[in-house]
Structures are given as C-alpha cells and as structure tokens.
Amino acid sequence: CCPRRIRRILDKNIKFHRMCAYMIVLMTLIHYFAHSFNVDFFTSAYTSKILVTDSNSVIQRKRLVARLIQIGNAPNETYLNPIRSNVVGTFYHFSVGAVFLLTGGWTGVIITLSLFFMVTSSVEFIRRSYFEVFWFTHHLFIVFYGFLVVHGISMQVRGQTAASLLVHDPKRCSLINPALWPQNNCPTPVFAGSAPMTWKWVIAPMVLYVIERIIRLVRFNQQVEILKVIKHPSRVIEIQMRKKGFNAEVGQYVFIMCPQLSQLEWHPFTLTSAPEEDYCSVHVRIVGDWTTGLSKVLGADESGNEVLPSWKMPKLAIDGPFGTASEDVFNYPVAICVGSGIGVTPFASLLKSVWYKNLNPEHEMVLKKVYFFWICPETHAFEWFGDLLAYLERQLAEIGRQDLIEYHIYLTRGWDHKQAKTIYAHEEDSRDVITGLEQKTNYGRPNWDEIFSKTAQSHPNTHVGVFFCGVAALSAKLHKMSNKHSGSGVSFHYNKENF
C-alpha cells in the first residue's frame, strides 16, 4: 500500500504511542505545577496587607491586587480571580484544597489520576504478569478525554478583553492608585475567559474510536468455527479456527475474545497458520489467568480432561487480522529471521508459507534464502515448534529445496550435568538428541558479528531483511549489527515485531 520505508515507520506505532504518552505526562506535570502557583496566588491575594515597612512600589502592588480581586462583586462587572471569596482558615486555603473550588481544578485532578493509573499500569511487569490490570486501567482514557473536554468549560484562565484594553491601559493604570482610577480615565477593566477549544482537538480521534468499536462489534457477531484444539507440550495449546471472509498474511496477529470468560477482554495472538491454509490457527501459551481459563473452557487444561468436540466448543470472537513487519519478508531476496523463546510464533506462519509458495512452479518468489535462528532458554521450549521444523525438513527434502531454509537452533541454558553427558554421548548421531532434527543444536549464544559478516560475504549487493520477535536486549543487539554491517553494496534492514 505504501513504500517500504513508510511501512517500516508505521511498524513503530507502539513506540510512537509511548513517545506521545511520555510527552503527555511531561506536559501534564508542567501544566499542573504552573496552575498550582496560580491557585496559590489566587487564595493568598485575600490575605495581602499593607505594612508600614512596605516600599511605595510594594504598596501600589498590594492595592492593585486588592482592587482586582474585588472586581466582579458589583453588578455588571466581570471577575479576574476565579476564587470569589476569602477561604483563609478553611480546607480551601491551601492550593491542594482550593483546586476543588474550580471546575478546571477538580476535573484536572480526575484527569491527572487517570493518567497516573494508565502510566503506572503500563510498565512491562504489569503487562506481562497482570494483563487484565493493564487492559482495564488503560481504558481510563475514556475518563481522561471525557473530563478533558469539560476541563476549561468555566473559562477560569481570564484576561482583559480587547475592547477594554482600548479604554483601560493596564501599563498606565497599574501605576495609579486604584481608588483614583475614575479621576484618571481608568474605567473598571472588563475580563473574559477563552472559549473551550479542547473538543476541537479530540473530536476526530473520539469519532474514529467509536467507528473502530462499531467495527469490532460487527466482527464479534461474525461466527467463528473452532475446528480443532491440539494440546502441545510445555503448556501450549493450538486452536484451529475458520471464519467467513477471513484473509491474513504471514506473521499477522488477531485479537481473541471469549465471552464465557469476559465480555470485555481482547487478547492479541500471532497467527501461526499460513495464508495458503484454509483455516487460521494460534498457539496459546498458558501463563496467566485468562489463558488458563481459556484452556479450561476448551477442555485442554492440565487436569487431563479430553479436548471438547467442536460442537461443544465455547464461542470465540476474532478481531483482525492486523499487520506486522513480517509481512515484508517476501520483498527481500535474503531474510534473517530470529525468534527468541515464544517469540518464534510469527515465523511458524512464515516458514510454512515459504514451503507452500515453492510448491507452485509458476510462482517466482523474490525471496531466495531464509536464515532462521531460534534462541531458546530451556530444553522443553523446543517441544511444540520442533514438530513443525521436522515436518518442513521432510517436505523441503521431498521437493529438493533443502537449501531454501537454513535454520540454526541455540540452547542458551537449561541443561544439567546428566543431560550434558547424554548430549555428548549422542554427538555423532544423525539427528539431534534434543530436537530430533537433522540440524544439530548449538549451545550458548550466537556470535552475531560473525553471522552478519558471513551473510554479507555470501550475498553481495543484496538487500537483506532482518526480522526479530523476542526480548528487548536481543533486539537492540540485532539492530546494532544491522547498522554495523550495512555497506559495500549490502544493506541489512531491521524489522521488529511490536509485542
């Protein structure tokens, strides 16, 4: 739909969202402290008294303040100070309390509290361990925008009107004793607040949000047929589904909602099925309350229950699919795909689609070579994805395209002394002792500098797409390597899945 550079920028939408959030927090803090000083000045104006030790300039300033806070008490006068009475000795005497006298004050407190809860619940620990807390508190944005619209409705930030400035010069009149204003051609100034403008800025995104919710409601009511649920090792279940009119590309993701668990919660899952298959599938790792509940209603929990037949399956709703960086993989002659732990899921769809496309001799692919790296922290993490790799290994051998996908598996930790002995004893076997694949497992971490250097030498004058899904630390490393080894005709284009 648009050039590659633009698509890569759009793929950073979550990072852009966070940058906007940080700026909103910064501007909110500046706005809050600035108005705290205003409110304190408004309240303390009533306690200002002239002392015998005051200089003439201080006396004039205090007289001016005393006169300005009185303007608005007489008929047909407009006020400047929004706090209209002396609150000394009450709760409202302090700026913290005085804000509740102002519409902009108490709405500002609600807005700031909403923002506080949204930001604090967005930290990675909360998102990963308590997704429901993150999801619900993030919807406080409705409260945030709702009160933001009425935040300035009472027009408390006030100034002298343009017409009043023509007859009352503030520079000249501020030097005159306010009691002598009528004799010195200084009529009582007229003040007014600016009309609320926030609604003009938020109406468009609010309308877009309502439209998006309507579309999601329509998608929710579309029937999703659950074809099969497969229990994999390592607390992973595979759900195969079919939905009329559903079309997806490699690596895309969907939001899934189960009304039996919650009518509000939508959780993102990467599609592991290829576009060429007549169904869509996701692999769900059971790690939290919602995924545990989903496995139970599907009959695929740890209690040993049999998976329910399709006609007994609960209702599921699918929203999507939504695009990711992996869609661009077929636009590069060479691709380096790196999955870390469960981050390998987007590449399940990709690898299967590569095989399907090679079954069609009339389809000429731009993609000629895939280097796939899977980094796992423990041995049992291989179990569910290893079956797919073994299947692809056999299928590519049958069509004589073993060279199309070159995969490398790295086990970074998780083996004990006994397992180390077993690994050493089977070193000469034709298949790997852990995965059962022909490609042997590497132990330790990849030498990315060497890997990128060899790729650049093997594919001169080539655009190489680097695709990654996994932990942030490895993402930064791969991004650095892509920039370091780009040059002399070879360009590495880094793409990261935003999860």
How far is Cα 466 from Cα 65, in angstroms, rounded to an integer? 66
Percentage of the residues of the chain whose pLDDT score is greater than 70: 82
Confidence of residue 117 (pLDDT cuts 50, 70, 90): very high
CA–CA distance from 101 to each of 16, 108, 276 (Å)?
37, 12, 63
For residue 376, name the pLDDT band (cuts at 50, 70, 90).
confident
Rounded to a whole number of angstroms, the CA Rg of the chain reads: 33
pLDDT tens profile 156-215: 788 889 999 999 999 999 898 988 988 888 999 998 888 888 888 888 888 998 998 888
Identify which has the larger pLDDT, 324 or 168. 168
pLDDT (0 to 100) of residue 131: 76
CA 17 to the chain's CA centroid: 6
In percent, the amount of the chain with pLDDT more than 90 equals: 6
pLDDT in tens, 5-22: 666 667 677 888 889 999
CA angle 276, 278, 284 (to 5 degrees): 95
Is residue 268 scored above 90 in pLDDT?
no
Read off the pLDDT band of 82 (50, 70, 90).
Answer: confident
- C-alpha–C-alpha distance, residues 321 and 245, integer Å: 11
Closest to 370 (Cα-Cα) out of 392, 385, 391: 392
Contacts of 438 (CB under 8 A, 6+ apart): 393, 430, 431, 432
pLDDT at 403 over 60: yes
Res. 379: pLDDT tops 60: no
Of 63-77, 198-212, 340-354, where does mean pLDDT reach its minimum? 340-354
Rounded to an integer, the average pLDDT of 77-96 is 66
Least confident of 41-50, 72-81, 130-139, 383-392: 383-392
Most confident of 118-132, 195-209, 344-358: 195-209
Supply the mean pLDDT for the chain: 80
How far apart are the C-alpha atoms of 140 and 146, rounded to whole Å? 10
Helices marked H in 231-382: 289-297, 345-358
Q: Which pLDDT does position 114 carry in this prediction?
A: 92
pLDDT, mean of residues 102-128:
86
Is the model more confident about 69 or about 309? 69
What pLDDT, in 10s, does the model give residues 277-310? 888 888 888 877 888 888 888 877 655 555 556 6
How far, CA to CA in Å, does 87 sit from each of 95, 216, 218, 314? Answer: 11, 51, 54, 61
Residue 26 binned pLDDT confidence (cut-offs 50, 70, 90):
very high
Of residues 425 and 54, more confidently modeled: 54
Residue found under tokens 């695009």: 323
pLDDT of residue 14: 80
The band of 136, judged by pLDDT with boundaries at 50, 70 and 90, is confident
| Domains delineated in the chain | 4-199 (no CATH), 222-322 (2.40.30.10), 329-496 (3.40.50.80)
pTM: 0.66
Contact 102, 96 (CB under 8 A): no
pLDDT tens by residue, 443-457? 778 888 888 888 888
DSSP state of 236: E
Token representation of residue 368: 């000629």
